[in-house]
């Protein structure tokens, strides 16, 4: 039987949004939020980036990256980059839809896609880009006490970012905003008074 959460997300999310030319100063990127079920409980897969990649070194994020000239769209980008980073074949992913784009202070506009993946699966992480894989239960992001926000300075610019902390794991920045947007589609709002799941991104705009 198909899990109700999967049907709910597929009904609510945008199928494959058209790209916009409204942000020429930002680099377009696509990421995949891989959703899977373990012991009937929904989980998300994350990567921790190595310290040798260009940007966001050491951070926990979803697999993905910058759009190549040969990519038909950002969904293609997300699937290609996921394949290159962790060895998940694109045909193994059931795309459920896209979340609102988020922008970063480092100059990217990221379109996240939620995809249902098989589990267990024989992943093959690219050791040049991926330090480790993390498999975290979706419900672990619901408790409000695990969320906070704070100031972050980048190249002289001050912005405010969201943080999720549990044990020794920290997810912050764009990935945290993507998580908040995902949970908003599931009627979960762990940050009090933030019903739109938006954290200011330092550019004066809402991400998306």
pLDDT band, very low/low/confident/very high, at 197 (cuts 50, 70, 90): very low
C-alpha 26/C-alpha 17 separation (Å) is 17
- The number of beta carbons lying within 10 Å of the beta carbon of residue 142 is 14
C-alpha 83/C-alpha 64 separation (Å) is 9
Contact 146, 168 (CB under 8 A): no
Place of tokens 């709002």: 189
| Residue 18: per-residue pLDDT | 81
185-199: average pLDDT: 66
Element (H, E) at 178: helix 174-185
Contact 17, 98 (CB under 8 A): yes
Residue 208 has pLDDT above 60, yes or no: no
Give the domains, in start order, of the chain with CATH numbers: 4-16+27-185 (3.90.79.10)
- Provide the phi-psi class of 156: left if phi over 0, else alpha when psi is between -120 and 50, else beta: left
In this predicted model, what pLDDT tens digit does every residue of 27-66 receive, in sequence order?
999 999 999 999 999 999 999 999 676 665 679 999 999 9
Secondary structure (3-state) at 95: strand
In this predicted model, what pLDDT tens digit does every residue of 148-176 receive, in sequence order?
888 888 888 888 888 999 999 999 999 99
Selected residue with higher pLDDT from 100 and 150: 100
| Residue 164: per-residue pLDDT | 95
pLDDT band, very low/low/confident/very high, at 192 (cuts 50, 70, 90): low
Contact 208, 169 (CB under 8 A): no
| Residue 54: per-residue pLDDT | 64
| Residue 31: per-residue pLDDT | 98
Quick one: which of 147, 30, 153, 169 has its CA closest to 95? 30
Selected residue with higher pLDDT from 190 and 91: 91
Place of tokens 């969201």: 162
CA-based end-to-end distance of the chain = 34
| Global confidence as pTM | 0.89
Residue 186 has pLDDT above 70, yes or no: yes
Residue 200 has pLDDT above 70, yes or no: no
Side-chain-side CA neighbours of 196 within 13 Å: the count stands at: 7
């Amino acid at each position: 039987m198909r899990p109700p959460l999967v049907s709910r997300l597929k009904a609510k999310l945008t199928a494959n949004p058209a790209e916009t030319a409204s942000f020429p100063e930002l680099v377009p990127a696509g990421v995949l939020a891989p959703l899977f079920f373990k012991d009937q409980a929904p989980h998300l897969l994350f990567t921790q980036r190595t310290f040798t990649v260009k940007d966001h070194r050491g951070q926990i994020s979803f697999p993905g990256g910058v759009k190549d000239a040969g990519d038909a769209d950002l969904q293609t980008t997300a699937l290609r980059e996921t394949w290159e980073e962790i060895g998940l074949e694109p045909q193994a992913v059931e795309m459920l839809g896209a979340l609102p784009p988020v922008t970063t202070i480092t100059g990217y506009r990221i379109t996240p896609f939620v995809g249902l993946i098989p589990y267990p699966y024989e992943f093959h992480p690219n050791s040049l880009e991926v330090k480790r894989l993390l498999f975290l239960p979706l419900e672990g992001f619901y408790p409000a006490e695990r969320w906070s926000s704070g100031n972050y300075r980048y190249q002289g610019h001050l912005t405010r970012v969201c943080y999720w902390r549990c044990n020794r794991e920290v997810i912050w920045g764009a990935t945290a905003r993507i998580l908040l947007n995902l949970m908003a589609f599931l009627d979960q709002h762990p940050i009090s008074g933030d019903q739109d799941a938006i954290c200011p991104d330092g550019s004066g705009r809402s991400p998306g």
